[in-house]
């Protein structure tokens, strides 16, 4: 085992890219049609076993919509038998009380239900489903009733940031224990729709102030509000994934192993769990070793005294915005490409006062794939 490489503590199983919803901020890849067949139940179980032997402790089930996998209960049971802490990240569509009970019986530790908005009209418009909101409400209540801590996730963007007070009110009404108010990050479909999603600084500051008012008013008697700010309004980049190939390992539906959910869009070959053991992939593959350490860095990262803190930021963001994943993340004020972030903020200001977006808003679905790839 190479020295200096940590364990893949956090394993994310993206069970499927299939999803009944069409969120324009989805972080799945644009190329939804051309991925290989999904891993079978036995293949997933083998991956979990290999990960556990390597020291993985947390296992997330996500997608797409993981509920579309009819073997989800089996996968949960097997993962718990191996000793994982298990987490289901779901829209709630495809769930019912019986299934929540089955998850409970299988040993699932944690369920996070996502909402698009606090009102039925906006939620369903953003989700592209007329029944989504009612189903989410029912499932949030069911999850709570069956003894799980209630964890709600709202992706926040220009269309719903103005109703953050109502989002918090809904979370209180549902007796949520934790609420993630996560400003959209611009990967996958969110990146091509960024013009439509990025809030202005003013909107962001107002939303954070409202969140803080609620925190003060609730004073610990209500949901814990987690406000996640977007790096587009920062001057230093985030330590994405806590460092490339450091603690995080994603397995995509077709078995491609990735250091983060967006990395398959990089011009790097990533190995597949069908062809290699997880141990080979983690410790010895070119893809996982690509951005480990500091040797790969160009200036200004190479000589930066913050490189051990932020690892040069996000490789996927550097690639998307500069065409070269070796560059500093343009979020950084020291990057020669930082003007692209500043420009996105300026565009957000212009669009907020009635400007026209240069690109159409594209719902995440296979029909829009060609148009999305052309942007």
Known binding site for [4Fe-4S] cluster: residues? Answer: 19, 23, 26
Please state the closest distance from residue 187 (CB atom) to ligand FES, in A: 6
Binding flag, residue 263, ligand FES (CB under 6 A): yes
Binding segment toward ligand FES, per CB under 6 A, in 108-116, 174-182, 189-197, 257-265: 257-265
Residues 6+ apart with CB under 8 A from 114: 89, 90, 91, 92, 136, 152, 153, 154, 155
Please state the closest distance from residue 235 (CB atom) to ligand FES, in A: 18
Please state the closest distance from residue 282 (CB atom) to ligand FES, in A: 16
The DSSP string of 194-256 is: HHHHPPPHHHHHHHHHHHHHHHHHHTTSSPEEEEE--GGG-SS---GGGSTTTSEEEE-TTSB
Please state the closest distance from residue 269 (CB atom) to ligand FES, in A: 16
Residue pair 58/87 in contact by the 8 Å Cβ criterion: yes
Contacts to ligand FES from residues 97-156, by CB under 6 A:
none
Q: Which two tokens stand for residue 36?
A: 């290989």
Which residues are known binding-site members? Answer: 19, 23, 26
Element (H, E) at 110: strand 110-115
Binder of ligand FES out of 262, 285, 368, 369 (CB under 6 A): 262
Please state the closest distance from residue 330 (CB atom) to ligand FES, in A: 13
Angle between helices 120-127 and 132-145 (to 10 degrees): 100
Residue with tokens 């893809």: 287
Binding footprint of ligand FES, residue count (CB under 6 A) = 9
The nearer residue to ligand FES, 72 or 258, going by C-beta atoms, is 258
The nearer residue to ligand FES, 237 or 253, going by C-beta atoms, is 237
Binding flag, residue 315, ligand FES (CB under 6 A): yes
Binding flag, residue 30, ligand FES (CB under 6 A): no
Residues 6+ apart with CB under 8 A from 267: 319, 325
**Distance between CA 154 and CA 274 in Å, rounded?**
34
Residue pair 11/349 in contact by the 8 Å Cβ criterion: no
The nearer residue to ligand FES, 241 or 249, going by C-beta atoms, is 241
Binding segment toward ligand FES, per CB under 6 A, in 9-17, 37-45, 57-65, 260-268: 260-268
DSSP tag of 112:
E
**Distance between CA 364 and CA 368 in Å, rounded?**
7
Contacts to ligand FES from residues 154-213, by CB under 6 A:
187
Binding flag, residue 327, ligand FES (CB under 6 A): no
Residues 6+ apart with CB under 8 A from 33: 366, 369
Binding flag, residue 332, ligand FES (CB under 6 A): no
Please state the closest distance from residue 170 (CB atom) to ligand FES, in A: 29
Binder of ligand FES out of 314, 328, 341, 348 (CB under 6 A): 314
Q: Which two tokens stand for residue 228?
A: 């996640």
Q: Which two tokens stand for residue 167?
A: 């989002």
Q: How far is CA 300 from CA 16, 306, 312, 328, 330, in A?
A: 38, 10, 9, 7, 11
C-alpha torsion 158→111→191→203, nearest 10 = 20
Site string for ligand FES, 269-308 (x = CB under 6 A): ----------------------------------------
Binder of ligand FES out of 11, 316, 341, 348 (CB under 6 A): 316
The nearer residue to ligand FES, 52 or 315, going by C-beta atoms, is 315
Please state the closest distance from residue 245 (CB atom) to ligand FES, in A: 10
Residue pair 154/180 in contact by the 8 Å Cβ criterion: yes
The nearer residue to ligand FES, 26 or 240, going by C-beta atoms, is 240
Please state the closest distance from residue 319 (CB atom) to ligand FES, in A: 9
Longest dimension (CA), the chain: 57
User: Binding residues for ligand FES, per CB under 6 A?
Assistant: 187, 240-241, 260, 262-263, 314-316
């Amino acid at each position: 085992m190479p020295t200096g490489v940590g364990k893949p503590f956090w394993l994310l199983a993206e069970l499927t890219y299939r999803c009944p919803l069409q969120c324009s901020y989805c972080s799945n890849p644009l190329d939804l049609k051309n991925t290989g067949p999904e891993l079978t139940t036995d293949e997933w179980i083998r991956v979990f076993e290999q990960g556990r032997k390597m020291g993985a402790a947390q296992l997330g089930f996500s997608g797409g919509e993981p509920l579309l996998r009819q073997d989800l209960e089996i996968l949960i049971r097997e993962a718990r038998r191996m000793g994982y802490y298990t987490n289901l990240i779901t829209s709630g569509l495809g769930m019912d009380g019986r299934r929540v009970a089955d998850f409970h019986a299988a040993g699932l530790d944690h369920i996070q239900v996502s909402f698009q908005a606090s009102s039925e009209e906006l939620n369903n418009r953003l989700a592209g489903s007329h029944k989504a909101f009612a189903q989410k409400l029912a499932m949030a209540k069911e999850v709570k009733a069956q003894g799980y801590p209630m964890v709600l996730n709202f992706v926040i963007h220009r269309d719903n940031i103005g109703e953050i007070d109502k989002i918090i009110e809904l979370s209180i009404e549902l007796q949520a224990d934790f609420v993630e108010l996560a400003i959209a990050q611009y990967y996958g479909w969110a990146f091509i729709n960024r013009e439509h999603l990025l809030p202005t600084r003013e909107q962001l500051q107002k939303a954070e102030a409202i969140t803080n008012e609620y925190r003060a008013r609730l004073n610990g008697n209500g949901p814990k509000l987690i406000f996640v700010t977007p790096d587009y309004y920062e001057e230093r980049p985030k330590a994405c994934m806590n460092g490339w190939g450091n603690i995080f390992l994603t397995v995509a539906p077709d078995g491609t192993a990735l250091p983060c959910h967006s990395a398959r869009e990089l011009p790097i070959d990533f190995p597949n769990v069908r062809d290699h053991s997880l141990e080979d992939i983690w410790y010895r593959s070119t893809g996982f070793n690509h951005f480990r350490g500091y040797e790969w860095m160009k200036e200004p990262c190479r000589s930066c005294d913050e490189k051990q803190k932020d690892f040069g930021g996000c490789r996927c963001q550097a690639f998307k915005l500069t065409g070269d994943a070796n560059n500093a993340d343009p979020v950084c004020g020291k990057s020669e490409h930082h003007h692209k972030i500043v420009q996105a903020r300026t565009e957000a200001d212009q669009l907020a006062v009635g400007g026209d977006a240069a690109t159409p808003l594209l719902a995440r679905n296979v029909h829009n794939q060609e148009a999305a790839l052309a942007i």
